[in-house]
Structure 1
Amino acid sequence: GEGEREYIVGYAARFGVRSLLLGDFYERIDPAAFGLVSERRGRKKKLETRALFNHDSNYPLARYPRTLSLTVDEVGLRYEFPVPDSSYGRDLANNIRDGIVLGSSFAFTVAKGGDEWAIEDGQSVRTIRSVDSLLDVGPCTYPAYGDGGLEVAQRSLEQFRKEQRRNDEARKYVETRAAFYRDFLRSHGR
């Protein structure tokens, strides 16, 4: 209908889920990993995250905070952006709808001391505890973490605005919880 727009929605990262084998190790994302990214919103160094298809800068889809929404919830790092009015944007939306592109991914740098290694079931596992910069998020044909819960959603403009307001409230809540967990971990020598 009029005023409705399609959005691409997915989880760039899911907390506590082990990745597929990355060479000779697995990776897992800690729920507090995106705390530094959230904190940066109020600082001089801005978050310069883009939505890209397959991490390819030749296929830009959205940019935070203009057209890309990023939220952290109990599942993971969620992204949402309007389907771009471009040939590759429309093609991507069709491929997601048809189940050809199912996953999501993200590119990041780890904060100094922001990862932890362990051996689990004879395998090396890297846990990302703190992300320093979030470079890109987006749909991915072969994601390291499997299915990213990707979908094309149709919403009215008013519903989108309501969700943006809820996202702002959720972001404040997550930032408060992330600060609590950081303080808790610091007080316990981690």
Structure 2
Amino acid sequence: MERAAHERRAALLEVRASGRRLSGYAATFGAEARIGRVRETIAPGAFAGALGGDVLALLDHDPGKVLGRTRSGTLRLFEDAKGLAFDLELPDTQAGADVLALATRGDLGGMSFGFTVPAGGEAWHGERRTLTRVQLHEISVVSAWPAYPDTSLALRAMPGLVERERRQRALVLAEVARAVG
């Protein structure tokens, strides 16, 4: 049996940061990506069969930088009319802090997803490929260039988030100094 190739697609998409949560879209339906001479789109329903498994949220597709997963409930995925939506509870790790800082500053490049295409999961019309069914392995927060350039990126941080975190760190440091001294 031939093994399906693992593929990745990146996109500049609407992502919102609020507290330690990141939410938005990892993929949108109907947006066109140019991959060499091929033009690719994702059909509504393409992710429906893949949402029941254990899907990871990673930083830059790095399995050493897990941000969440569906099995633990820290990553929630669902399809709506627009595409593959996600809600991610960022961990209190260096990778989570980095993503939060980049989202707050507006520096995130977008989202990506890693997938394979099962038999019958794509339709070809000349150099046009439509993904109709995919096996989703992971979504990633990335700083790379998008495969789906027609999408938009709208990163918004909760007002006062940076200042509130700075004050919280100062209080923790003061507590530690009191306990040590």
TM-score between the two structures when normalised by the length of structure 1? 0.65
1:1-190 mapped onto 2 (5 Å cutoff):
5-19=19-33, 21-38=34-51, 41=52, 47-66=53-72, 67-119=74-126, 124-131=127-134, 133-142=135-144, 143-146=146-149, 147=151, 149=153, 151=155
Unaligned runs of 5+ in 2: 1-17, 159-181
Partners of 1:11 and 1:150 within 8 A in 2: no
- Helix, strand or coil at the partner of 1:144: coil
RMSD: 2.0
Task: Measure the CA separation in 2 of the matches of 1:152 and 1:82.
Answer: 16
- In structure 2, the residue matched to 1:185 is none
What is the alpha-carbon distance in structure 2 between the residues aligned to residue 71 and residue 150 of structure 1? 20
Residue in 2 that maps onto 1:171? none
Residue 151 to residue 7, structure 1, CA distance change in 2 (3 Å): farther
Runs of 4 or more, structure 1, over 6 Å off, are none
Q: Distance in 2 between matches of 1:53 and 1:140?
A: 6
Structure 2 length-normalised TM: 0.68
Q: Are the equivalent residues in 1 in contact too, given 2:48–2:79 (CA < 8 A)?
A: no
Q: How many residues end up aligned between the 2 structures?
A: 138
Question: Which amino acid is 1:58 matched to?
Answer: G
Q: What fraction of aligned residue pairs are identical, expressed as a percent?
A: 33
Q: Which has the higher helix share?
A: 1
Larger radius of gyration: 2
List gaps (5 residues or longer) in structure 1.
Answer: 42-46, 155-190
State the distance in 2 between where 1:64 and 1:150 align. 24
